[in-house]
Structure 1
Amino acid sequence: MNERELQQLTEHISQQFFGKAFRHQAVFNDRLKTTGGRYLLGTHNIELNRRYLEEHGREELIGIIKHELCHYHLHLEGKGYQHRDRDFKSLLKQVGAPRFCTPLKTVQNKRRAEKRHEYICTGCGRSFIRKRRFDTSRYVCGVCKGKLKWLRTTDSL
């Protein structure tokens, strides 16, 4: 699907489900990583993640377009367009749009393993786990003021 087809699909969905015209642009934004789409308040444009079309199909993309059109139409009407607003939730139900999109499989697999650094106090024997490694000569144990010793670095999700 190209940008022109996406624009036509968005205009069609807007007319069919909302009974109102979509007068702005709907484009694919390949920089979107974890979200299906977003409505831009300043320009009133809608950006969509192309990977949802490739991974989950046309029906998922249509659901995302409906969701973003809910933001669009409510914002232009001056009603509550945010996720927490009653107007937004009721319009989602009315048009059959999902509140959240299905997570991408490719994003779940690319999640980086975080390193954890383990330290131990030579005085009281307490162990400390930290995300960042630090210079043990500059810091002491907060409990007994004993010296700290680095033990190991582990990878965890």
Structure 2
Amino acid sequence: MNDISLQKLVQRISQDDFRKPFLHKALFNTRLQTTGGRYLLKSHDIEVNPKYVEKFGHDELVGIIKHELCHYHLHLEGRGYRHRDRDFRVLMQKVGAPRFCSRIPQSYLVYRCQQCDARYRRRKRMDVARYVCGACKGKLIFFEKIVD
């Protein structure tokens, strides 16, 4: 799927489910890391994380679009568009938009102290020659990789 077909899908969902036109841009943003999509307040554009489409499929994409369109239409109408606002929650329930998108599993690296057996979880690899255990100053070694 490309940006043009995403734009058409967002326009169709907006018209079918919200009965209002979507007049701005819908784009894929590969730099999004922790979220399925976002609505930009200043430009009124919607950005979608393509990793979620690849991992979870078309239904997840439609859910993300509906969620972001709830932000979009409520913001343009001057009503409560934030997650905590009643208007937002009511509209999400009306159109069947999910509150959260599915979670992509994260991988962690576990390091272990050779002296006291303390464990440290890290997302990024670390140089065990430069760091020591915070509890006993012992030597750290790579222990295992965990996928949550």
TM-score, normalised on structure 2? Answer: 0.77
Structure 2 counterparts to residues 21-60 of structure 1, below 5 A: 21-60=21-60
Contact 2:112 2:120 in 1 (8 A): yes
Aligned to 2:64: 64
Structure 2 counterparts to residues 1-157 of structure 1, below 5 A: 1-104=1-104, 108-109=105-106, 111-113=107-109, 115=111, 133=131, 150-153=137-140
TM-score, normalised on structure 1? Answer: 0.73
User: Helix, strand or coil for the counterpart of 2:51?
Assistant: helix
Contact 1:119 1:129 in 2 (8 A): no
Contact 2:110 2:120 in 1 (8 A): no
The 3 A distance-change label for structure 1 pair 27 and 152 is same
Runs of 4+ in 1 over 4 A off after TM superposition: 114-120, 128-134, 154-157
The aligned length equals 136
1:20-62 deviations in whole A, cap 9, x for unaligned? 0000000000111221100001100000011111111111100
RMSD: 2.8
The 3 A distance-change label for structure 1 pair 90 and 151 is same
CA distance in 2, matches of 1:113, 1:26: 36
Which stretches in structure 1 are left out of the alignment for 5+ residues?
A: 121-127, 137-147
The 3 A distance-change label for structure 1 pair 130 and 60 is closer
Structure whose alpha-carbon radius of gyration is higher: 1
Instruction: Give the aligned residue type for 2:109.
Output: A
The 3 A distance-change label for structure 1 pair 20 and 153 is same
Contact 2:74 2:80 in 1 (8 A): yes
CA distance in 1, matches of 2:43, 2:78: 15
Instruction: Give the aligned residue type for 1:96.
Output: G
CA distance in 1, matches of 2:115, 2:42: 49
The 3 A distance-change label for structure 1 pair 133 and 69 is same
Contact 1:66 1:97 in 2 (8 A): yes
Sequence identity (%): 51
